[in-house]
């Protein structure tokens, strides 16, 4: 782990499987989640080297990656903390992967940012990885940290971190869910908790020891720091009690935070307050957020808080405490606030190492070769807090509590009868009276706010709407107050979708696969698997020879049937994915020129080989 400003790590890189391995199962936790950003995770797990942002990613690659991995990925997020991003039909395939949760303690937040991952090779070997971050699963262009812990490889020797606390943390997550999870997903999470809990993780250099510390879960203790000679605290949000304890426990404190946070706490004479230099607050190569306009328009007047983190600027949370020749580093999701230290669900890692190579000077001042954080920070003189900002923050918190209450009030979306292309949606929710001074509107995330947002009521119906617009995600917008003291926030909650129409997944699939060329390219991705026993060069064979939309002749340029036969005969899982695709495309695919007329006959041969030959081991 490094805090050098020039050192950049991408979550997409950290999610990529080791050579020879593929994703087996993954659990992620985050305070807030951007559904479009979530689509990058399956892309990262896929074998192909796709783009790392969705603006340039191949939509067919996105679809294939999501369909392949969504059933083995579960993302736990704070209830009502889903971002109102532009809707895409491919989100249909990740609905079950998003699980809203609440913290066990009343008034606390679910705030950890962790990935617990198990990879598996073709011979059955497993490898675990743990990512501990300070950032949410969003497109926010903020300064954050990421710590990558890999399982100790067989035959290697190194000092290790016990995975047992991580296993208990993962195993306890389903118990926080607003709604029960499916049995298959529960079993997979429980199995991951067992195996990752038994795994030793390598202590990253130059540290000598470490431990994983969950906070806010049943049986967890409050976070604390022992007295130190010198302390560097990096936290975008501050609480008076915690800052007071940090100052009382050290002789010298360097405190890097945000101006509004520093304005709200009392600082001692031995505390040096710093903020990021405005010129460096936004990373120059940060990827654009496709949902930024929609989100910033509705949340622009809401002040930043733990429940409404800034989209850019400082968001890292790290503490470095020097004691004689040693240094202790605490990094993860916990801010220097009272709820984070004792109340919120958080996860941090404690690392201990030599002061000479991991101390404050190496991080803050750095060297000529690797300048430290100080070069992008400026001293700050605290100002008198603006009382209007305090009022706005209180109103913002009230909205967040109200939206969380809505999410936990068992909202139900009933799907009406379908004629194959259109249907209706009826929302029923018991909690339909906003707090005094608040106005709340709601709509399915897939529908335009300007047209379909309705005042919250016990029962609301939308329709007729396209089948492809059926979604359990509801965008909820609340305005609290009037004039300068008004705050508007939009968040997304997840309803219980009942009476789901069977055509919905097929409609989402057809929304991307619109031509024979699209289907052929999709089959190319399906036959590519890092653990596959079949090696195919279809993608390079095709190269630049694609025709335009509907170009059925593309099938004549590639012999895809021989690789299909080999895959079926060897029991490779890729042929099962092809079977699933054909089933979801439906019987009319050939009539719509999505498949050549002779494909059905050839697929019958492949399917028979799959069922009667070595394909008996398919799906291993």
Indicate the helix (H) or strand (E) that contains 296: helix 292-299
The pLDDT score that the predictor gives to residue 601 is 76
The pLDDT score that the predictor gives to residue 547 is 40
Query: Which residues are 8's β-sheet partners?
Result: none
pLDDT tens per residue, range 209-246: 999 999 999 989 999 999 999 999 999 999 999 999 99
The pLDDT score that the predictor gives to residue 137 is 93
389 within 8 A of 260, measured Cβ to Cβ: yes
Query: Rounded to 5 degrees, what angle do the CA atoms 468, 470, 473 make?
Result: 125
Indicate the helix (H) or strand (E) that contains 428: strand 422-428
98 within 8 A of 38, measured Cβ to Cβ: yes
Mean per-residue pLDDT over the chain, rounded? 85
Of 552, 472, 481, 496, the closest CA to residue 520 belongs to: 552
β-pair type (160-162, 200-202) = antiparallel
Q: What is the mean pLDDT of residues 122-135?
A: 95
Examine the pLDDT at 278 and tell me if it is beyond 70.
yes
Query: Rounded to 5 degrees, what angle do the CA atoms 367, 373, 378 make?
Result: 120
Task: Give this prediction's pTM.
Answer: 0.89
Q: What is the mean pLDDT of residues 367-389?
A: 90
From CA 445, how far away is CA 34, in angstroms rounded?
13
Please tell me which residue, 245 or 598, carries the higher pLDDT value.
Answer: 245
The pLDDT score that the predictor gives to residue 375 is 93
| 616-620: Cβ within 8 A, 24+ apart | 616/571, 617/571, 618/568, 618/571, 618/572, 618/573, 618/575, 618/576, 619/573, 619/576, 620/571, 620/573
From CA 455, how far away is CA 442, in angstroms rounded?
6
Cβ atoms < 10 Å from Cβ of 310? 19
**Burial class of residue 296, CB neighbours in 10 A (0-12, 13-18, 19+):** exposed
Q: How many residues does the chain have?
A: 620
**Residue 512, SS3?**
helix
Examine the pLDDT at 618 and tell me if it is beyond 70.
no
Q: For residue 294, name the pLDDT band (cuts at 50, 70, 90).
A: very low
Q: For residue 616, name the pLDDT band (cuts at 50, 70, 90).
A: very low
The pLDDT score that the predictor gives to residue 508 is 86
The pLDDT score that the predictor gives to residue 548 is 41
> What are the structure tokens assigned to 422, written together?
């259109």
332 within 8 A of 131, measured Cβ to Cβ: no
pLDDT tens per residue, range 530-580: 433 333 444 444 444 434 444 445 555 456 777 777 777 777 777 888 888
DSSP strand E in 481-544: where?
Answer: 487-494, 496-498
Examine the pLDDT at 461 and tell me if it is beyond 80.
yes
């Amino acid at each position: 782990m490094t805090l050098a400003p020039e050192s950049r790590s991408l979550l997409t890189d950290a999610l990529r499987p080791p050579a020879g391995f593929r994703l087996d199962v993954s659990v992620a936790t985050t305070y807030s989640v951007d559904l479009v950003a979530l689509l990058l995770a399956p892309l990262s797990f896929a074998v192909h080297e796709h783009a790392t942002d969705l603006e340039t990613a191949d939509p067919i690659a996105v679809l294939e990656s999501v369909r392949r991995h969504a059933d083995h990925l579960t993302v736990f997020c704070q209830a009502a903390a889903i971002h109102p991003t532009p809707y895409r039909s491919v989100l249909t395939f990740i609905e079950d992967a998003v699980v809203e949760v609440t913290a066990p303690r009343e008034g606390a937040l679910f705030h950890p940012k962790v990935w617990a991952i198990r990879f598996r090779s073709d011979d059955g070997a497993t490898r675990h990885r743990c990512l501990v971050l300070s950032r949410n699963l969003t497109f926010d262009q903020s300064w954050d940290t990421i710590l990558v812990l890999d399982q100790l490889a067989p035959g290697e020797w190194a000092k290790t971190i016990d995975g047992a606390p991580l296993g208990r943390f993962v195993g306890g997550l389903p118990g926080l869910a607003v709604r029960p999870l499916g049995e298959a997903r529960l079993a997979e999470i429980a199995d991951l908790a067992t195996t990752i809990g038994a795994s030793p993780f390598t202590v990253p250099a130059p540290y000598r020891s470490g431990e994983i510390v969950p906070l806010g879960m049943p049986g967890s203790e409050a976070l604390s720091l022992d007295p130190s000679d010198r302390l560097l605290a990096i936290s975008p949000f501050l609480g008076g009690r915690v800052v007071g304890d940090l100052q009382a426990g050290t002789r010298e404190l360097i405190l890097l935070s945000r101006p509004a946070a520093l304005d709200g706490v009392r600082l001692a004479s031995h505390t040096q307050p710093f903020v990021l230099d405005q010129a460096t607050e936004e990373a120059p190569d940060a990827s654009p957020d496709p949902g930024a306009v929609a989100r910033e328009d509705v949340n622009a007047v809401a002040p930043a808080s733990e429940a409404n983190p800034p989209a850019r600027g400082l968001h890292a949370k790290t503490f470095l405490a020097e004691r004689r020749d040693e240094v202790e580093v605490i990094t993860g999701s916990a801010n220097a606030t009272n709820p984070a230290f004792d109340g919120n669900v958080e996860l941090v890692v404690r690392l201990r190492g030599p002061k000479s190579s991991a101390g404050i000077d190496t991080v803050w001042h750095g060297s000529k070769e690797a300048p430290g954080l100080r070069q992008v920070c400026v001293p700050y003189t605290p100002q008198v807090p603006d009382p209007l900002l305090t009022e706005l923050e209180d109103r913002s918190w009230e909205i967040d509590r109200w939206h969380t209450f809505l999410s936990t009030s068992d909202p139900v979306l009933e799907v009406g009868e379908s004629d194959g292309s259109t249907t209706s949606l009826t929302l029923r929710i018991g909690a339909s009276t906003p707090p005094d001074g608040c106005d709340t509107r709601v709509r399915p995330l897939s529908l335009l706010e300007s047209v379909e947002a309705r005042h919250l009521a016990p029962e609301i119906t939308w329709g007729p709407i396209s089948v492809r617009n059926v979604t359990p995600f509801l965008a909820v917008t609340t305005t609290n107050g009037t004039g300068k003291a008004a705050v508007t926030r939009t968040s997304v909650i997840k309803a219980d979708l009942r009476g789901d129409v069977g055509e919905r997944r097929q409609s989402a699939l057809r929304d991307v696969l619109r031509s024979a060329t699209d289907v052929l390219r999709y089959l190319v991705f399906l036959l590519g698997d890092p653990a596959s026993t079949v090696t195919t060069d279809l993608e390079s064979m095709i190269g630049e020879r694609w025709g335009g939309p509907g170009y059925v002749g593309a099938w004549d340029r590639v012999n895809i049937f021989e690789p299909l036969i080999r895959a079926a005969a060897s029991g490779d899982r890729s042929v099962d994915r092809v079977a699933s695709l054909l089933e979801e495309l439906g019987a009319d695919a050939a009539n719509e020129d999505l498949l050549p007329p002779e494909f059905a006959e050839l697929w019958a041969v492949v399917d028979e080989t799959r069922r009667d030959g070595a394909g008996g081991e398919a799906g291993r």
